Amino acid sequence: MSTPSPITSRDNPLLKRLRLLAHGSTAYRKQGQVWLEGDHLCRSLLARGRRPEMAVFTDAFWAQVPHDLRDAADKIVTIPDALMAGISTLESPAGVGFVWNLPTSAGLLPGEPAVVLDRLQDAGNVGSILRSAAAFGFRQVLALKGTAALWSPKVLRAGMGAHFALHLVEGLSVADLGGLEVPLVGTSSHQGDWLHQAQLPWPCAWVLGHEGQGVSAELSALAGQSVRIAQPGGEESLNVAAAAAICLHASAVSCSMALG
């Protein structure tokens, strides 16, 4: 077990960097690291066999921290509870946070099932879609330019650890999707095959569009199939995260049935 290094000054350079990571939606792009606050996110990282660069504990939590968290990182820092409150974006600041080095993106994975995000703006929607993608066997999530930052603090919290199970690529153009080598299935609120009647390909890439504008015309033209969800209740449209969960589950069921 490493010996913890105590920090007591609010002006410490490390704490300034942590505040930037915790509050800046795109700070991770410059620093190449993310701040994971709270027991759930930290344990989700460890459960996927990943190791943080650094673990930060409040003084109070360090006195009782479980061994799996205590031994999680080679570098350990302890800080007063008040300083953690200055970093935290949670209503009740956590006693532990990890600094994790982001993996170097190697681009999209040809032939693997994927979810394509076309300019989705809401961080909660994006995080929820990542959770559904991981749950239903989709290997990668690909974000086109204009989509909310995948590793932003709000998306991380909404993803609840799904990030660590997925290959994530952002900043893509429509032309980049030519390297996917799987059929694209577009989503629509008003046209296409009914999902409950559709023959779904596997593997495939589901395309989910902007909350208000939907999938772009350029991307829709590339999709070999368009699908809509029956809504007998008469609502105008489903929230994109809810629609994603329904569609990705349908794909998982279709795949399972095809495999026997």
Q: What's the pLDDT tens digit per position in 74-97?
A: 999 999 999 999 999 999 999 999
| Confidence band of 1 (pLDDT split at 50, 70, 90) | low
Residue 129 has pLDDT above 60, yes or no: yes
Looking at the fold, whether 155 and 81 belong to one and the same domain comes out as: no
Last residue of a domain, one of 35, 66, 101: 101
Question: Domain limits at 207?
Answer: 114-258
Distance CA 238, CA 209 (A): 12
Structure tokens at 172: 């893509």
Residue 46's domain is classified under what CATH number?
Answer: 3.30.1330.30
pLDDT tens readout for residues 160-172:
999 999 999 999 9
Whether this prediction's pTM lies above 0.85 is answered by yes
Looking at the fold, whether 26 and 155 belong to one and the same domain comes out as: no
Please check whether residue 254 lies inside any domain of the structure: yes
Looking at the fold, whether 47 and 90 belong to one and the same domain comes out as: yes
Looking at the fold, whether 145 and 43 belong to one and the same domain comes out as: no
Looking at the fold, whether 135 and 89 belong to one and the same domain comes out as: no
In sequence order, the 6+-apart residues with CB closer than 8 A to the CB of 109 are 139, 140, 167
Looking at the fold, whether 198 and 232 belong to one and the same domain comes out as: yes
What pLDDT score does 190 carry? 81
Burial of 126 (C-beta count, 10 Å sphere; 0-12/13-18/19+): buried
Please check whether residue 97 lies inside any domain of the structure: yes
Looking at the fold, whether 124 and 244 belong to one and the same domain comes out as: yes
Number of domain units in the chain: 2
Residue 260 has pLDDT above 60, yes or no: no
Contact call for residues 202 and 185 (beta carbons, < 8 A): no
Q: What percentage of the chain has pLDDT greater than the value 90? A: 87
Looking at the fold, whether 20 and 129 belong to one and the same domain comes out as: no
What pLDDT score does 79 carry? 98
In sequence order, the 6+-apart residues with CB closer than 8 A to the CB of 111 are 180, 181, 182, 203
Contact call for residues 57 and 96 (beta carbons, < 8 A): yes
Please check whether residue 108 lies inside any domain of the structure: no
Nearest to 180 by CA among 106, 107, 111: 111
Q: What percentage of the chain has pLDDT greater than the value 70? A: 96
Residue 2 has pLDDT above 80, yes or no: no
DSSP summary character for residue 167? E
Distance CA 102, CA 140 (A): 15
Per-residue pLDDT, averaged over 173-186, amounts to 95
Burial of 170 (C-beta count, 10 Å sphere; 0-12/13-18/19+): middle
Please check whether residue 107 lies inside any domain of the structure: no
Three-state DSSP at 87 gives: helix
Looking at the fold, whether 35 and 148 belong to one and the same domain comes out as: no
